[in-house]
Amino acid sequence: MSDVLNVNGLRSGYGELPVLDGVSLRVGAGEIVSVLGANGAGKTTLLLTISGHLPAHGGAVDFDGHDILGMPAHQAVEKGLVMVPEGGRLFPFMTVLENLELGAYHPVARARMAQSLQEVMGLFPILAERRGQLAGRLSGGERQMCAVARAMMALPKLLMLDEPSLGLAPIMVDKVFDMVRALVAQKGLSVLLVEQNVGNALHLSQRAYVLEHGHMVKSGVSTDLLNDPEVQRSYMGL
């Protein structure tokens, strides 16, 4: 399987403060891969560095055959690397439709906007119903759907999701994860999923990595990690 994302020895942090200390991972085409870790492990920092929002201190990031280390985030988006930030970060005083349209900001996505809108409205019927409503009035689950739909408007090859289950009731977590599964099946995307909800993430992904204090301490096939006593004890409260 060819890799859509290949991260090697990535280091980054905030100012002088190092956070990621040589992180490596890969995502194959069509694969869902999760990165698990506790609060403060460096999960968000990892996604921000890969996507170009935070400068790297060292390492290499290859995305779809392009060396994207140091590339500005908006250029990486044009190549198909699209991140859904923690909490979705919608514009609360804009409508659902306006938020979706903003996702299609680069020229290629803009040219295809009408078609993309039709597609995401089909995939997320709730957003079609709520298209004229202010995004700030959506429920937590709807907001997460809208954030993923907005990312789809940018025509991603790889979708990076930062804790999409955060703050959602278990039934909504299932819905959001089902939606991710459906997107991958229908659109042939790849997904890099960052989660603290370890059980759900391992059921969704094919492979996973465990991040602790800026280091990858474990990786493997998700079903193996689900049965790993150390993972169960440290991350699943079993």
Ligand X SMILES: Nc1ncnc2c1ncn2[C@@H]1O[C@H](COP(=O)(O)OP(=O)(O)OP(=O)(O)O)[C@@H](O)[C@H]1O
For residue 182, the minimal CB distance to ligand X (Å) is 26
Two tokens, residue 47: 């996604």
- Shortest Å, Cβ 4 to ligand X: 22
In the stretch 189-218, what mask flags binding to ligand X with x, by CB under 6 A?
A: -------x----------------------
Residues numbered 66 to 125 that lie near ligand X (CB under 6 A) are none
Rounded Cα distance, 225 and 150, in Å: 32
41 contacts 212 by C-beta, under 8 angstroms: yes
Nearer to ligand X, 36 or 123 (CB): 36
Amino acid at position 169, single letter: A
The residues that bridge with 215 in the sheet, in sequence order, are: 212
Q: Which residue lies nearer to ligand X by CB, 53 or 203?
A: 53
> Closest by alpha carbon to 190, among 76, 22, 27, 24?
27
Quick one: which of 34, 44, 165, 190 contacts Mg ion (CB under 5 A)? 44
Nearest-CB residue to Mg ion?
44
Which of 1, 16, 39, 132 contacts ligand X by CB under 6 A?
A: 39
Q: How many residues does the chain have?
A: 238
Among 25, 96, 33, 119, which Cα is nearest to 63's? 25
H or E segment at 208? strand 207-212
> Site map for ligand X, 40-59, x if CB under 6 A?
xxxxxx--------------
Residue 14 binding ligand X, by CB under 6 A: yes
Site residues, Mg ion (CB under 5 A) = 43-44
